[in-house]
Amino acid sequence: MPLLLTLLAAYALLALALLLFQGRLIFPRHATGPVLLERPPEGCVEAIIETDDGDLVCWYFPADGASASNPVPCVLFAHGNAELMSHNLDLVHRYRAAGFGVLLMEYRGYGDAPGTPTQRGLTADAVALVRWLEARPEVDAERLVYHGRSIGGGVMCQAALVRQPAALVLESTFTSVASFAPRFLMPPAIVRHPFRNDRALRDLPIPILLVHGRADEIVPVRHAQTLHELARDSSLVELEGGHNSVDPVRVFEHTLAFLRARGVGTDTR
C-alpha cells in the first residue's frame, strides 16, 4: 500500500507539473535564439494587429509588380514553435521569386512581441492577419495560401476553420498536440492547447499539401499519413530528413508545383 500511494502521489505531481508548465513545452519561446533583424528588411511593410495583450507586429512582403489592377496570390506563413518570423526570410525570397506576396506571422510572447501564446490567441491573430491581407488591393483575396510549419500548421488549420484559404500547406505537422499526451502517461484531456488538426482536416473542403520528413524524430511521419487519410482533398509528399533537416528547397519545389497544379500559382490566370 505505501508503494501504491507513493506511485499515485508521483503521478499526481507529474500531472500537475504538465498542467502548469505545458505552455513552455508547446511554445518554447525561450529556445528560439536571437532575433536576426531588429528592424524590418527593405521592401517589408509592417502589419500591426491590435490584440488584448498589445500591438502585434508582423512582416508583409508585397509581390513585385502587384497592384490593384494586378492583384496576386499571397501566403500567410506560421513558423515552428522554436523559431521566429525573422528566421524565415529564405522562404520569403522563394515565394516572392515565384510571384507571391508573403506575410510572416509572429507569435505572442515571441521575440519582441507582447503577450503569451495560446491556441485561441494565435488563431485570433491569424484570422486578423487574413482580414488585413484581404483589405489590401494588390492581394487577390481568392488566392490566399496558408503555410504552417510544425506548430504553425496547427495555427493555420485553426485559422482555416474560421476563414478558408484557397490552399493549405502543412509542413512537418502533427495530428494533434493532444496525441502526444500518452508519451507522458497522461490523458489527452490534460492538454490546454490541443490543436486538433485531425478534426480540422475532416471539415476542410480545400486542397491540402502535407510535406513531411520520413525520419522525423519529433513528429513521426505517421502523423502526416493519418492526416492525408482524413483530409477530403490532400496530397502527401514524404522527403528524406528529420523534423529540422528536410531540404527546404525540395519542400518549396513540391509546394510550388502543388499550388500551380491547384490553380493558385501566379501563372495560372
| Model pTM score | 0.92
In order along its 269 residues, the chain shows pLDDT tens digits of 676 555 555 555 555 556 556 677 889 988 887 777 778 888 899 999 888 778 889 999 999 999 999 999 999 999 999 999 999 999 999 999 999 999 999 999 998 888 999 999 999 999 999 999 999 999 999 999 999 999 999 999 999 999 999 999 999 999 999 888 777 666 777 788 999 999 999 999 999 999 999 999 999 999 999 999 999 999 999 999 999 999 999 999 999 999 999 999 776 44
For the domain spanning 2-261, the CATH number is 3.40.50.1820
Amino acid at 67: S
The residues facing 220 across adjacent strands are none
Q: Break the chain into its structural domains and give their ranges.
A: 2-261
Cα dihedral 250, 79, 205, 165 in deg (nearest 10): -100
The 3-class SS string of the chain reads CHHHHHHHHHHHHHHHHHHHHHHHHHCCHHHCCCCCCCCCCCCCEEEEEEECCEEEEEEEECCCCCECCECEEEEEEECCCCCCHHHHHHHHHHHHHCCCEEEEECCCCCCCCCCCCCHHHHHHHHHHHHHHHHCCCCEEEEEEEEEEECHHHHHHHHHHHHCCCCEEEEECCCCCCHHHHHHHCCCHHHCCCCCCHHHHHHHCCCCEEEEEECCCCCCCCHHHHHHHHHCCCEEEEEECCCCCCCCHHHHHHHHHHHHHHCCCCCCCC
Q: What pLDDT is attached to residue 265?
A: 79
